[in-house]
Amino acid sequence: MKEIEEIVEVKNYSMCLRDVVEVFTKQLINNLFDVNHCTESGDETRLKFLKILNRLSVKNGENLWNSFEDSFITIRKKLDLDAAAAEKNDPAAKSLEEVYLAYPGFYAIAVHRLSNQLLKLGVAVLPRVMSEFAHSVTGTDIHPGAEIGDSFFIDHATGIVIGETTIIKDNVQIFQGVTLGGIQVKKSLASTKRHPTIESDVVIYANATILGGDVIIGKNSVIGANVCITESIPENSVVTVQSENKIFQKRD
């Protein structure tokens, strides 16, 4: 470390906060779903939150915590709807308990709903660190700024990217590898809507890519696997890739 200090002007970015935020996020989710755990560690979670904000130089920690805590019941109700959607739509789901305990997509949604609320409260940095923790453990990258409606189901989770200005309405299902992204990556577009809007009752199958802030996927539509979309789709549409599979018989 001494050699580093001699070479560069050292600025403290509190990298250890990544580990603290991981523990905080886990405790927060456990508190939402386990009353006994909440009784034991609720105050500990609050203190950890205040310490994180202090390290990030965010003021009014107590007021922010109170506002955040007031949202827990609403967030829990939304997550129960998400879990019910997973059990209803996934033939592999044997019970709600299985969804809560074993589904990475549900876990990613849980972290997102919490980080999204913190972002709305004006908390800096922490929401993004929480979302990156979820990304690392689930393979699902949801920016905390994305707005997601009720009964959201992510199947398999791996490789999903949902950009900052994405809007997803109610009863939407998406599968592994889906990207809801921007058609251009320019810093000058930071304050604009760069990502698509997905209306209610839409299903988006594996590895589909939907790009652009002006793009709207109409309600009750189905987007097939491997489709790339850069323009709006009317409601009640089915979009697929035309392909032909040729099967040849092996010869000895």
Q: In one letter, which amino acid is 21?
A: V
Which DSSP letter does residue 218 get? -
205 contacts 185 by C-beta, under 8 angstroms: no
Give residue 250's pLDDT.
61
Query: What are the residue ranges spanned by the domains of the chain?
Result: 8-140, 146-240
The CATH number of the structural domain formed by 8-140 is 1.10.3130.10
CATH superfamily, with its number, for domain 146-240: Hexapeptide repeat proteins (2.160.10.10)
State what percent of residues in the chain have pLDDT above 90.
Answer: 80
Contact 223, 236 (CB under 8 A): no
Report pLDDT for 242: 76
Of all residues in the chain, what percent carry a pLDDT higher than 70?
Answer: 88
Q: Please compute the mean of the pLDDT values over residues 112-117 and round it to a whole number.
A: 98
The confidence score (pLDDT) of residue 245 equals: 67
The rounded radius of gyration (Å) of the Cα atoms in the chain is 21
Could you report the per-residue pLDDT of 5-46, keeping only the tens digit for each? 555 566 666 788 999 999 999 999 999 998 775 555 778 999
Taking only the tens place, the pLDDT of each residue in 132-191 is 999 999 999 999 999 999 999 999 999 999 999 999 999 999 999 999 999 877 777 677
